[in-house]
Amino acid sequence: MGKPGAFLECRRKPPDYRPVEERVRDFLPVERGWEEADVVRQAERCMACGTPFCHGWGCPLAAVIPEANDLVCRGHWADAIEVLLSQNPFPEFTGRVCPAPCEAACVLGLHDQPVAVRSIEAAIAEKGFASGRLGPRPPARRRPETVAVIGSGPAGLAAADRLNRAGVQVTVFEKDREPGGLLRYGIPAFKLDKAVVARRIRLMAQEGIGFETGVSCGTDLAADYLRRRFTAICLAAGARQPRDLDVPGRDLEGIHFALEYLGGRDGAASGGPIDAAGRDIIILGGGDTGADCLGTAIRQGARRVRQIEILPRPPAERPACTPWPLWPQILRTSSSHEEGGERLWSIKALSFLGGRGRVRGVRCARVAWDADADGRPAGMADVPGSEFDLEADRVLLAMGFVGPGAPALAAGWGLLRDSRPFVAVDGRHETAAPGVFAAGDLVAGPSLVARAMADGRDAAEGILDYLNRG
């Protein structure tokens, strides 16, 4: 390890954010990278513990974290890049947007602040691009088989990357104007610069992966045509069916799903930008997507922004119900929350209020939660007489996603659904249609970017096994 005992001398360094008064005026990245000396110093805090829970428990990709940290400490950046890439195909993405379950599982976090794994990972990736080590690496030999990857989000890109490195000829189909899926159209530019996404897509194209955009598979290209043209197919279209709210007034104008709002800002095919300038905004949903909406609305010049969550306010410290190394159910304050807006907890939306066909407010009620034996919220009841109205002339629904919807290809290939209902696959990620595989949120449900990448990588291994068996 780089410096034994460094964690006793050096405190964890928080991410370096641009000043609030500066960053709310633009959509440029809020986070600035560290100086190299800071990266090395933070990597020295890694204890080289006997059982690295960050690797084996926390990271969905099983990233080789302690070894990468040690190489950074010793100045072996090129080797650190190779170690990181051995498990994580896109560290420049996870180093920016992953909530870092590896840090929640860090052994140092038992008694101190965990190692800043995410920021170190981002620094390694950027060092790789700056030095040219993260350049095009086309396969030395091409196989005869062709594979279509449908969807260019984290899972689809990871599957395409793994297959291409094995020499398979890969074509990625994307229904939107540009590749990237959630990375481009679901995460605001101030969290993930779209130039970072474009850089990776450009690199993958240089390595031999084909990208066909503006193509809706199952509509523009028939299911039978795809089966005839490609040896195997990987579905990675995500789970974009949002959770709706069936209450009076839902048909009023001015109520939008979160991705409709965020995606429109980045020019998704679904429509133009939805403006929050000068408006009273209410966001229903207290998670990361809601926070992204909050930060976007502030930058657009909203008059007032309130984010409502039906769950109770989480504790500031790790509760007994989520002991280490589990992901702790604690209060998280994003960079967007630091910029303004209000957060309201234990609030339920009863109906939307309107006038002349447009939303004018939300009628709410307070709810009380019971806890189970482990302290988790277990039962909810309305508080009698607690109803109140909040003014709003635009409402954003950011309450999560319930499934993949009804992809046109599902019926064409007779794909089966599981009980949730997501696309059912076997242990190799193969669907009920031979040669058709599925990965990511389409299979596992909405989750982390890192988990989608891991799922895409695993699906690619299943496809390679299928191809090798002929």
Q: What is the pLDDT of residues 50-86, one digit of tens each?
A: 899 999 899 999 999 999 999 999 999 999 999 999 9
pLDDT-derived band at 270 (thresholds 50, 70, 90) equals very low
What proportion of the chain, given as a percentage, has pLDDT over 90?
A: 84
What's the mean pLDDT when you consider all of the chain? 93
Quote the pLDDT of residue 407: 65
CB 161 within 8 A of CB 199: no
CB 382 within 8 A of CB 365: yes
- The answer for 63, left when phi > 0, alpha when psi is -120 to 50, beta otherwise, is beta
Give residue 377's pLDDT.
Answer: 83
Question: Residue 251 has which token pair?
Answer: 């048909």
**Element holding 156 (H helix, E strand):** helix 154-165
Say which residue, 127 or 265, is predicted with more confidence: 127
The pair of structure tokens assigned to 157 is 């890109």
> pLDDT tens digits for 315-334?
999 998 899 999 999 999 99
DSSP state for residue 221 in the 8-state scheme: B
Mean pLDDT over 338-348 rounds to 97
Is residue 190 within 8 Å of 27, Cβ to Cβ? Answer: yes
The structural domains of the chain, with segments of one domain joined by +, span 6-131, 146-240+402-468, 244-399
195 — pLDDT class (breaks 50, 70, 90): very high
Do 244-399 and 6-131 fall under one CATH topology?
A: no
Confidence of residue 419 (pLDDT cuts 50, 70, 90): confident
Contact 440, 90 (CB under 8 A): no
Of 24-28, 294-298, 304-308, 403-407, where does mean pLDDT reach its minimum? 403-407
Query: Cα separation of 180 and 178, whole Å?
Result: 7
pLDDT of residue 266: 55
Q: What is the mean pLDDT of residues 137-142?
A: 96
CATH 3.50.50.60 holds for 244-399: yes
Q: 6-131, what's its fold?
A: Fumarate Reductase Iron-sulfur Protein; Chain B, domain 2 (1.10.1060)
Q: Is the pLDDT of residue 202 over 80?
A: yes
Cβ neighbors of 247 (< 8 A, separation 6 or more) are 349, 350, 351, 352
Amino acid, res. 82:
E
Compare 231 and 274 and report the one with higher pLDDT.
231
pLDDT class for 265, splitting at 50, 70, 90?
Answer: low
The predicted-structure confidence for 352-367, as pLDDT tens digits, reads as follows: 999 999 999 999 999 9
For residue 396, give both structure tokens: 């954003």
**CATH architecture, domain defined by 146-240+402-468:** 3-Layer(bba) Sandwich (3.50)
363: which strand partners? Answer: 351, 389
Beta strands in 345-421 (DSSP E): 347-355, 358-371, 377-382, 388-391, 394-397, 401-403
* Residue 83 backbone class (left: φ over 0; alpha: ψ -120 to 50; beta: rest): alpha
Amino acid type, 44: E
What is the DSSP track for 266-300?
TT-TT-SPPP-TT-EEEEE--SHHHHHHHHHHHHH
Segment 380-389, tens digit of pLDDT: 999 999 999 9
What's residue 187's pLDDT?
Answer: 95
pLDDT value, residue 1: 65
Are the beta carbons of 217 and 443 closer than 8 angstroms?
Answer: no
In the predicted model, is pLDDT for residue 2 greater than 70? Answer: no
Look at residue 255 and tell me whether its pLDDT is greater than 80: yes
Which range, 2-11, 105-114, 414-423, is most confident? 105-114
Average of pLDDT values for 442-448? 91
The pLDDT score that the predictor gives to residue 271 is 44
pLDDT at 268 exceeding the cut of 50: no
**Alpha helices in 62-106, H assignment, sequence order:** 65-73, 77-85, 91-97, 101-104
Least confident residue range of 160-174, 399-413, 441-455:
399-413
Sign of the four-CA dihedral 59, 64, 70, 73: negative
Mean pLDDT of 194-213: 98
Cα angle value 427/401/450 (rounded, 5°): 50
Please, what is the angle between helix 77-85 and helix 65-73, to 10°? 170
Q: What is the pLDDT of residue 18?
A: 97
Q: Is a pLDDT exceeding 80 seen at residue 405?
A: no
Q: SS3 of 428, please?
A: coil
Please compute the mean of the pLDDT values over residues 251-271 and round it to a whole number: 77
Report the alpha-carbon distance of residue 264 to residue 293 in Å, rounded.
12
Please give the average per-residue pLDDT across 185-189, as a whole number. Answer: 94
CA dist., res. 232 & res. 468, Å (int): 12
